[in-house]
Amino acid sequence: MTAITAIDVRGLTKRFGPVTAVHDVGFQVEAGAVVAVLGQNGAGKTTTIEILEGFQRADGGHVRVLGTDPAQADRRWRSRIGLVLQSTSLDPQVTVLEAVELHAALYPNPRPVDEMLAVVGLTDDADTRIGVLSGGRQRRVDLALGMVGRPDLLFLDEPTTGLDPQARRSLWAAIRELNRSGTTILLTTHYLDEAQQLADRVIVMSEGRVIADATPDQLRARAGGAAVRFPLPPSVSVPPALARHVQDGVLVMRGDVGEALAAIVGWARAQGVDLQGLEVGAPSLEEAYLALTEPDHEQADHG
Amino acid sequence: MTELPPIAPLLVRQVRYHLRLLVRNPRAMTTGVLLPGLLLFLRGSPGHADEVAGAVAGLTALGVGMLGYASFAASLVTARESGVLRRWRASPLPSWCYFTGRITATVVLALAGTAITVAVGVVEFGSPVHDPVGLALVIGLGALAFAALGTAVTRVIATADSAQPVLMFTYLPVLFLSGALGPVNGLPAWVAGLMHRLPPGALVNGMSATLRGGTLPLGDLAVLGAWGIGGLVLACVVFRWDPVPPSARTAKTARVPA
């Protein structure tokens, strides 16, 4: 009975008046996967996710989430879905423990509340009112409320936006722990490192369409081979042969790594430039993503 | 498959949760529960028994309306703005349980606030309390009517900041014209008649009647019940779960995707 495909979307279309926000979108998410949806604001991510969550109706296409059309969502289906919304959505007047207990009671087989608080690192804040917690800790409460029902599928909408690096890392650990226990995760984020850290697969949306659907490594490979990068120190002049590789103060050379290194090292020796900061590696997911979503990579439709 | 938890305990939890939110909400506790008793205490002796009953009823109506209508609607808008409503909608709790819990908690607290105001009236001015059961019925139905209308009115309130002006302008003038804050002279007959058919007027009348004695004010109860049912039906039709997008706040245009 258990569907192996947690999310199945085909030909999904959603219009707002004259604007087509989501245009013929299709993708599948297999049970147990962590999939990140990337895209600029207005790319159609939020609309797509809201249709999957049952908050909006599709205008066309086939949508199944845990085998059910979200437009027909019932209590049973809702008890299998977890949600962490884009911004914290908590009553400031209740304590952490009160909020988690209240939500745990809604589910057929919730996690023990103590265990849940430990997983998100809020044991010491159990009796603190949510309103006086820091933003990072409030986000952990959000995560606890999304996870306490042992969901089969968790939607995470920009879970770590605005958090400090430590808070992000500890939230990532909690998300990974949940995934290991079998929860499928669909994540939206603006942080490419977050996608790289968490996701098995990345779906890139632009102007209401899916423009890439691949593993992070595949996306990086697609953006070209290895590159040599050297952030130029201030007031260093570069010979014309190298100057054409400079973007935003960074010397980036693709193609043959050996040749690129020889050129840079030769120039640096001659000029006495300190090469600290020189890197060799595959393009980052961020570079791959930017290459995909740069305006000149899109089909021109400025007619 | 594991069974979903039964509804009844969830409902009890919802009532407790909303009571907790109310008790920890300074706006609800001050203007809705404690202020009327304080105002009654401060105003000095209203005169003979009928006037005492009128003063108690008027100030109680002020509190019930502040709690059941103004504060209720304002915190509902805040819950909508902050995404709290969306979270509940996404949870396995049926929506009606959330609202039943919220409204029931408001009714309970309105009764508690009434008890305080009436107690001040009794202790300070020897207010009569003829029919406490009828009184509770009037207050309960009145708070329900206010909460139902408060739920419906959130439809036209865009943000938490704009809640107070809308709520105060729709509530205080009606309360004033109902005579709840003191006698209003020279009203055209049709205005006075209309006031009897609006929730604040029916609440003041019904409450005065149960304090002073006489038969159960069935007419006022019917008015409050009708507004309660009408408000709930209207709320079901017009209620909006999601915040009003900034683009639609000034011009009421169609929703534009973010």
pLDDT for res A284: 75
Q: Do A238 and A216 sit in the same domain of this protein?
A: no
* Residue B192: both structure tokens together: 């006075």
Could you give the CA distance from residue B240 to residue A180 in angstroms, rounded to a whole number?
A: 37
pLDDT tens string B1-56: 678 999 999 999 999 999 999 999 998 899 889 999 999 988 877 778 788 888 99
Give A106's contacts in chain B (Cβ within 8 Å).
5, 10, 91-93
Residue A184 pLDDT exceeds 70: yes
pLDDT above 90 coverage of chain B, percent: 67
Are residues A146 and A126 part of one domain?
yes
Contacts of A46 in chain B (CB under 8 A): 257-258
Contact B17 A94 (CB under 8 A): yes
In a domain, A140, yes or no: yes
Highest-scoring range by mean pLDDT, A2-6, A105-109, B28-32: A105-109
Report the pLDDT value the prediction gives residue B1, as an integer from 0 to 100.
60
Distance from CA of A20 to the nearest CA of B (A): 9
Side chain identity, residue A89? S
pLDDT digits (tens, 9 = 90+) for A135-154: 888 989 999 999 999 999 99
Domain match, A130 and A272 both: no
Is residue A296, in this structure, part of any structural domain at all? Answer: no
Domain boundary among A200, A221, A242: A221
> What pLDDT, on the 0 to 100 scale, is given for residue A293?
77
Q: What is the mean pLDDT of residues A116-124?
A: 91
Judgement on whether residues A256 and A131 belong to the same structural domain of the protein: no
Task: Give the number of domains in chain A.
Answer: 2
Q: What is the pLDDT of residue B58?
A: 93
The pLDDT > 70 percentage for chain B reads 95
Intra-chain end-to-end CA distance of chain A, in Å: 50
| Per-residue pLDDT at A210 | 93
Q: How confident is the model over A238-258, as pLDDT tens digits?
A: 888 888 888 888 888 877 888
CB within 8 Å: A106 and B5 = yes
Q: Do A10 and A65 reside in the same domain of the chain?
A: yes
Domain assignment of residue A274, given as a range = 226-281
- Contact at CB, A93 and B86, closer than 8 angstroms: no
Of A87-101, A269-283, B67-81, the poorest mean pLDDT is in A269-283
Q: Residue B257: which of A47, A54, A105 has the nearest Cβ?
A: A47
Residue B138 has pLDDT above 80, yes or no: yes
Q: Please name the helix (run of DSSP H) or strand (run of DSSP E) that holds residue A8, with its range, or none.
A: strand A5-16
CB contacts under 8 A, B 83-112 vs A, are 83-84, 86-87, 89-94
* A54 and A163 co-located in one domain: yes
User: Is residue A118 in a domain?
Assistant: yes
Long-range contacts of A108-117 (CB under 8 A, 24+ apart): A108/A79, A108/B1, A108/B2, A108/B3, A108/B4, A108/B5, A109/A149, A109/A150, A109/B2, A110/A148, A110/A149, A110/A150, A111/A147, A111/A148, A111/A149, A111/A150, A113/A148, A116/A144, A116/A147, A116/A148, A117/A144
Is A14 part of any domain? yes
Specify the pLDDT at position B252: 44
Q: What is the pLDDT of residues A257-289, one digit of tens each?
A: 888 888 889 888 888 888 888 888 777 777 778
More confident residue, B122 or A283: B122
Q: Is the pLDDT of residue B254 over 50?
A: no
User: Which residue has better confidence, B112 or A286?
Assistant: B112
Higher pLDDT, A297 or B80: B80
pLDDT computed for residue B249 by the predictor:
65
DSSP string, A244-267: TTEETTEEEEES-HHHHHHHHHHH
Pairwise CA distance, residues A300 & B243, whole Å: 35
The answer to the question of residue A287 being in a domain is no
According to the model, what pLDDT value does residue A295 have?
A: 58
The pLDDT of residue A73 is above 90: no
Co-location of A217 and A230 in the same domain = no
Whether A149 maps to a domain, the answer reads: yes
pLDDT at A106 over 90: yes
pLDDT of residue B256: 46
Q: Note the pLDDT of residue A299.
A: 41
Q: Mean pLDDT over all residues of chain B?
A: 90
Residues of A with CB under 8 A from a CB of B: 16-17, 19, 21, 41-42, 44, 46-47, 53-55, 75-76, 78-79, 81, 83, 85-91, 93-94, 98, 102-103, 105-109, 129, 145, 149
On whether residue A125 sits in a domain, the answer given is yes
Same-domain pairing of A156 and A169: yes
Q: Parse chain B into domains and list their residue ranges.
A: 7-180+192-253
Model confidence pLDDT, tens digit, residues A24-53:
999 999 999 999 999 888 889 989 999 999
The answer on A234 and A152 residing in a single domain is no
DSSP state of A71: G
